[in-house]
Chains A and B, each alone.
Chain A
Amino acid sequence: MEQLVFKKPESIKDDFKISFCPGCDHGIAVRLVAEVLDELGVRENTIGIASVGCSVFSYDFFNVDIVESPHGRSMAVATGIKRSKPDKIVFTYQGDGDLASIGLGETIHAMTRGEKVTAICINNTTYGMTGGQAGPTTLLGQVTTTTTTGRKAELSGYPLKVSEILKEVDGTAYVARVTLDSPKAIMNAKNCIKKAFEAQIKGLGTGFVEILSTCPTNWKMTPQQAHERVRGEMSEVFKPGVYKDKVSEAQ
């Protein structure tokens, strides 16, 4: 008899319409989070926090309760929800312009307090939703609409490495940086996201996963070229890997 080996996750709405650009890795990240919620069996007990950016439409596809937060304040909203309803699973779904730029203070302080939430950060090195301006994670020499001759260190500084910063924060229990450029990397990313949720469920602290994503529209590349860039240029600066893992140590 035929076996069903892949289907749409329960945590994605039946009438979903993924609103991202063609080839954007956001869609894969949304699906992985939904698959993890299915596998952990916590879908009906979960509250998500959508942020401002391309992730703003999270309520269109996640089949869980979603709160829309002001720009950058997702971790602050997550703190309030988790403290008032400690038995719920709370996760935030943010971009790098939201978590690493305007919301870096909220993020670091929430994680220093060791809030039992999970943060997913999509790092695509630009402000994708507003038209590809330079963000805090823009690589040196990268051409964007506000750095037309490439980002220069003497003018606008160096790219911000979020995982390296949050690794040093005592409240975090799991910090990893993953890519989505191949089927193998996607399966690894799913395991990392699952551990970030387990860190929250076991009460060890904050789980954080930074996902190196593509932005083919604003990078002006095909999806295939964009994945090449993630594998080469981006992985040299933002090194993928597990930076902190208290979940495996606790077992």
Chain B
Amino acid sequence: MSEKKDNIFRRLYYGVLKENPTVVLCLGLCPTLAVTTSAKNGLAMGIFTSVVLILSNLFISLLRKLIPQTERILGFVVIIGTFTTLSQLFLQAYFPDINEALGIFIPLTAVNTVIYDRAEKYAVSHNAALSIFDGIGMGIGYTLIITILGAIREILAMGTVFGYRLIPAGYSISIAALAPGGFIILACIIAIANKINGGRRL
């Protein structure tokens, strides 16, 4: 794809719909499945990952001429690790309860495949403005799916969404809150997206 044809709206469209990181590219499944036991956790993780993604996309794009081609993974590790640590400190200072709820998956953002994929396939070969919008588009797409997944799991497992009760207590499918429930519900979401897209992806 040449840089002339590409623009910020195209980046947003690709990130949210056409190349949605979770349902089309199937990346970053580890945190997606682990933290989505409630819609609130999903939303928080989505926003956290998006912030790290946008910042690291910006810096990788700015430094793309300085990072040697052969050692680029090491460059990505340092940049993404730094922003994860910074964002984690911010979270610890202002939202300690969210930091507590997400636990080990906050530092694991430093190895989130969505961020690596965007760094490798996009930020390292495009200019800063486009890379920021790529990060924003991908971030919105990621947050959207992770929140939907969290909401579905929360309804099934606890009968609530963002804490509001929809189904009376006592009617719940407890496996939805465990890992197998996450795997199956995510599989259904991806299958629905495949059906809507009409064709097989990946």
Are A and B a genuine interacting pair, yes or no? Answer: no
Which chain A residues have a beta carbon within 8 Å of chain B's beta carbons? none
Which chain B residues have a beta carbon within 8 Å of chain A's beta carbons? none
